Amino acid sequence: MTLIKHKKLLLPMMLFLLAGIAPAYADASSAINTAKHIPIQHNGRIKPFDSFARQTVKLITGSERWQKKEPTAVMLDQLSNLEGSRRLKWIRLNYAELKQTLALPPAENFFSMEEIQPSMNKLLPLLRSSQAKRDQDLRPVKLEQKAEFLYTQLMTLERLISGELATVVPGAETPEAAALPAEFERLLGLYRSGSFQEFEEGTRAWIQKVGPLSKEISHAKILLEVRYFEMKPFEWAAAGYLLSFVLLLLFKHSRLLRGAALAALAGGFLLHTLGLAMRIVVLSRPPVSNMYESMVFMNWVAMLGALLFALLYRNLPILTVGSLASGFIMVYGNLLPLDSSLDVLVPVLRSNYWLTIHVLTIVSSYGAFGLAMALGHRHLLCAAFNKFSESAKEESARLIYRVIQLGTILIGAGTVLGGVWANESWGRFWGWDPKETWALITCLVYLAIVHLWYSKRINDFWLAMSSVLCFFSVLMTWYGVNFVLGRGLHSYGFGAGGMAWINVYLLLEALFVLFILSRRYAGKPQSP
């Protein structure tokens, strides 16, 4: 009986304790959400504090979240205790050879600035060697590349501590503006002391004061950019595509589930489109300035092509293939260490006119070739396992050919337009730059396929096989020039590589081709 009485008292006691604790957490969360909208001038443009925090925290720690905290909270913690940032073990370094060179503990992957600084005399020779190679248009070895990245991390942290990394009062030189940095320091003090409600109220007032100081500050764009990162539209789009693929593959004869699959596909495509539109509005330019953006746009073109060809030919399998290809590319792209931040263009790209008509055209061709490659995989698998009727095989081959035709027209037009832009930017139409050369190779390779199929020199099997094999030239043009060759006038602004994942893809494709060839020539019965 006594135990029951104690249990009856336990719930009110817990509610009383939680009532005292919950507001503190709520205040902190609300204050952090408000701080996300602070306008910051960083890397050549005004962006929300949230974007600045994501980019900086990811650069230093290798992840947007640090110790399970969202990036805005991490950055507020560091800005309110700058000297503590020197002692904090948050600089990610997981390359064993560089740790050995710098005499750092091999078992650890995170270090503080204070731990690394005594080894600067060992880091500097690597940096000098790397720069000497770049001056001669040579590619530094991996150790030197890792040393360069570590130096970037250290300099970013040093500039953060010194206040040079970002400006909290963009472009303001009025007496009212002169008092705002001190006010911002006071706000950081409130955050450090745990006065979250006062910090939130002060932050709201500070945002209202700083807004009129610069014409470049757009609160609508600030809000849109914060929503973009909160929504994660491309991740949800990938989920919609993959769900659609599973439903179309397994339940294509069920009208209800087929409808659900098409709804998931439509939802994924709308989110994909929304994500691209949000980036366009925030940056006021086409979304194809770096490798991440080009991958997202190429993927969107592939899905758009699948939808259009499915409507044109009344062909459901192309939607199954398109949803798998788009979902796979989206997920695979997230595995690569690509820079997804929203930043300004390098000077040579600052022409929305040429960026739109040249780069969008070229990247659209990659989307068409990617769709043809995916259709080629389906064709080869169905042929290998005798899943094709004669009419279905002919329709599949016709689809592959039409998609390749579209891609060939796009890359041909894009290459010529690129030459015109090059003449404006560099004073010559063609200079055999690696990107130009590989774009021409890709164009000629696919022209050869079109010619061979049209003249009946190859059958449906080799058309499908060519769509798979020739995509390697697209991969080299699109990815290899920047991350394998790493040289030329076009190898700018594309971030880190991720060759390990590309090698996995190449290995899987090689195994796939060997499997298909073994099935075809091992004497097993299949359609010719």
- As a three-state string, the secondary structure of 213-280 is HCCCCCHHHHHHHHHHHHHCHHHHHHHHHHHHHHHHHHCCCCHHHHHHHHHHHHHHHHHHHHHHHHHH
The per-residue pLDDT for 320 is: 93
Burial class (CB in 10 A: 0-12, 13-18, 19+), 479: buried
Find all residues with CB under 8 Å of 23, minimum gap 6, and list them.
none
**Cβ count near 359 (within 10 Å):** 23
Topology, domain 289-521: Four Helix Bundle (Hemerythrin (Met), subunit A) (1.20.120)
Find the angle CA(483)-CA(442)-CA(323) to the nearest 5 degrees. 80
Beta-bridge mates of residue 110: 92
- How far apart CA 29 and CA 372 sit, in angstroms, is 47
Compute the distance between CA of residue 251 and CA of residue 246 in angstroms, rounded to an integer. 8
DSSP 505-519: HHHHHHHHHHHHHHH
Q: In angstroms, how far is CA 340 from the centroid of its own chain?
A: 4
In angstroms, the Cα distances linking 403 to 74, 241, 269, 306, 324 are 47, 20, 19, 9, 17
The confidence score (pLDDT) of residue 421 equals 75
Print pLDDT tens along the chain (528 aa). 444 444 444 444 434 443 444 444 446 889 999 999 999 888 888 999 999 999 999 999 998 888 889 999 999 999 988 888 889 999 999 999 999 999 999 999 999 999 999 999 999 999 999 999 888 877 888 899 899 999 999 999 999 998 888 887 665 567 777 777 888 889 999 999 989 999 999 999 989 888 887 788 888 999 999 999 999 999 999 999 999 999 998 887 788 888 999 999 999 999 999 999 999 999 888 888 788 888 999 999 999 999 999 999 888 899 999 999 999 988 887 777 677 777 776 655 555 666 778 888 999 999 999 999 999 999 999 999 888 888 889 999 999 999 999 999 999 998 888 888 777 766 677 777 788 888 999 999 999 999 999 999 999 999 999 999 999 999 988 887 777 665 555 554 444 456 777 888 889 999 999 999 998 887 555 554
What's the maximum distance between 2 C-alpha atoms anywhere in the chain?
94
Q: What is the pLDDT of residue 490?
A: 52
Contact 214, 46 (CB under 8 A): yes
In the three-class reduction of DSSP (H, G, I as helix; E, B as strand; rest coil), residue 321 is classed as: helix
Domain ranges of the chain: 19-216, 289-521
pLDDT at 418: 81
DSSP 8-state secondary structure symbol assigned to residue 290: S
CA 413 to chain centre: 26
Res 20: pLDDT: 44
Instruction: Please state, in angstroms and rounded to a whole number, the distance separating the CA atoms of residues 93 and 82.
Output: 21
Q: Phi/psi of residue 45, each to 5°?
A: -150, 165
Q: Look up residue 348 and give its DSSP letter.
A: G
User: Closest Cα to residue 151, out of 43, 55, 60, 71?
Assistant: 60
Per-residue confidence (pLDDT) for residue 6, from 0 to 100: 47
DSSP string covering 413-429: HHHHHHHHHHHHHHS-S
The three-state DSSP-derived secondary structure of 126-156 is HHHHHHHHHHCCCCCCHHHHHHHHHHHHHHH
* pTM to 2 decimal places: 0.84
